[in-house]
Chain A
Amino acid sequence: MSDGVLTSGVQGGLFAAWRAMLVRDLTLAMRRRADVLTSLFVFIIVVSLFPLGVSPEMSVLRGIAPGVIWVAALLATMLSLGRMFADDHQDGSLEQMLLLPHPLSMLVLGKVLAHWLVSGLPLVLLSPLLGMQLGMEGEAIGLLMVTLLLGTPVLSLIGATGAALTLGVRGGGVLVSLLVLPLYIPVLIIGTGAVDAGISGMDYEGHLSLLGAFLVIALLTTPLATAAALRISVE
């Protein structure tokens, strides 16, 4: 990364710190591209397994497509959660982060945004391709993208809390899925529900506002929970 992006001479303040956190995590993700791509490939592979496992009939696939893509997105997000804090925990950067003169929850928000840009947004962008593979129509694909756009940030936000709770814990990687997946259920239900409603010509605006509400609630609550969990994890 060129020095231009890491503008120096930054004056104090929360926003500067927040941006530095975002830049830092994005830079790190760029330098560990392989990790990032792995969870994206998991997303593609999981979706591709369904025609093989269930049926290659387009009529069958079309019916389950929104659910399949959403479940695959859940799994891919979950696999990427390990990256969020584990390395920082191991090399001591997390301790330094806790000792910064800024509210930890705000810094967490910067890290979650970086995680979403790297692990969530690509899922949204890839979903039309997978939707077409499963025989979805144009309008439904658009709706699927909108639900994923609203829903994947919630997955990153809730996932951050789970990842922070399982830091340095025996079998943390597996445990995080046990903690986080049940909490993902409402997003899954409403997300797929919206697409299904759209396909069957029903009103889906209510679903989208619900997803938006989930996003707002998650934005307001999970950074605090994650910050508390991070403080517990270094004890």
Chain B
Amino acid sequence: MALKDSIAWYHFAAPKNFYPLAGKMIPWFWGLTIVLLLVGLYLSFFVAPTDYKQGESYRIIFIHVPAAWMSMLIYLVMATYAIIGLAWKVRLADMMASALAPTGAMFTFLALWTGAFWGKPTWGTYWVWDARLTSELILLFLYIGFISLQSAIDDPRRAAKASSLLAIVGVINLPIIYFSVQWWNTLHQGASVSPTMAPKMATIMLTAMLIMTVAFWMYTIAIVLMRVRRIILERERQTTWVMELLGDETVGEKDGRK
């Protein structure tokens, strides 16, 4: 059984075999994303009770908190793929790492943006140098560094290796950065945006938040699979299977035009 499993892993670690598998999985993950997003948004905006202190504006945390969770989680997943890619020379892992980065950066940006919009009605200012927001900002810098380094190197193999190494350096630093930012924040007695209603948060609110998180997860998987398929075609374009595949498609297009 274990052997069989490991063979399956091995099989699908080859970009050639993963490409069609990913293609089959994408619609399912999109479907899950849409369903969960609809349920989650309905719960967040219509079912969850109005906060007695913050009114309706607090509802942005149903997007803000899951986005912040995802932004950190994706960096960890990305670094894990980077380690696998570098240590075991699995090309698909490198590709997954590069495919994850834009989505991670997007969630980081979303978390910052929604945080700012939550901050305005709550503290009357868009930005506070709070530990979470500051860490999130630094995380955005790390994502941007990863993406910039990758796009600055022309050779795809070298780009993948260099950016994987950067992701690993980043993930080692991440706890140190978080810790120092936390500490800096307590020292300067800055504002804290942590949702204080957490202990008495209604079950319905927690449910909504979790559903939103799962919806974001499904979205991430769907979009990353789409992106990784494109990256596979780009990086494997000299191989015969991609040439055959693209050859078929161009023939198909020509036929279609007739």
Q: Is the beta-carbon distance between A228 and B165 smaller than 8 angstroms?
A: yes
Determine if B168 and A225 form an interchain contact, defined as CB atoms under 8 angstroms apart: yes
Question: Across the interface, which residues of A come within 8 angstroms of B86, CB to CB?
Answer: 228
Task: Tell me whether A232 is interfacial, beta carbon within 8 Å.
Answer: yes
Expressed in whole angstroms, the minimum distance between the Cβ of A179 and any Cβ of chain B is: 4
Give the docked Cα–Cα distance between A175 and B177 (Å). 20
- Tell me which of A161, A170, A186, A221 has the highest count of chain B C-beta atoms within 10 A of its own C-beta: A186
Contacts of A190 on B, CB cut-off 8 Å?
180, 183
A233 to B161, CA, bound (A): 10
Q: Say yes or no: A185 contacts B149, CB within 8 Å.
A: no
Q: Is A214 an interface residue (CB 8 A)?
A: yes
B215 is an interface residue with CB less than 8 A from chain A? no
Residue of A nearest to B158 (CB): A235
Inter-chain contacts of A170 with B (CB < 8 A):
152-154
Partner-contacting stretch, out of B16-24, B47-55, B138-146, B234-242: B138-146
Once A189-B181, A228-B165, A232-B158 are accepted as A-B contacts, the answer to whether A182 and B138 lie under 8 Å apart by CB is yes
CA distance A233 to B138 in the complex (A): 26
Distance between Cα atoms of A225 and B164 in the complex (Å):
11
Q: How far is the CB of A105 from chain B (nearest CB, A)?
A: 14
8 Å CB contact of B180 from A161, A186, A217, A225:
A186
Least Cβ–Cβ distance between B77 and chain A, in angstroms: 19
Q: How large is the interface on A (under 10, 10 to 19, 20 to 34, 35 or more residues)?
A: 20 to 34
CA distance A12 to B145 in the complex (A): 41
CB-based contact A185/B181 at 8 Å: yes
Q: Give bound CA distance, A165 to B155, whole Å.
A: 14
Q: How far is the CA of A47 from the CA of B43 in the complex (A)?
A: 53
Q: Measured between alpha carbons, how far is A161 from B153 in the docked complex, in Å?
A: 16
Q: Which residues of A come within 8 Å of B, CB atoms?
A: 161, 165-166, 169-172, 175, 178-179, 181-183, 185-186, 189-190, 193, 196, 214, 217, 221, 225, 228-229, 232-233, 235
Residues of B within 8 A of A (CB): 86, 138, 141-142, 144-145, 148-149, 152-155, 157-158, 161-162, 165-166, 168-170, 172-173, 176-177, 179-181, 183-184, 187
14 further contact pairs, Cβ within 8 A, besides A179-B145, A190-B180, A232-B158: A161-B169, A165-B165, A170-B152, A170-B154, A175-B149, A181-B141, A182-B141, A182-B142, A182-B177, A183-B177, A189-B180, A193-B183, A193-B184, A225-B168
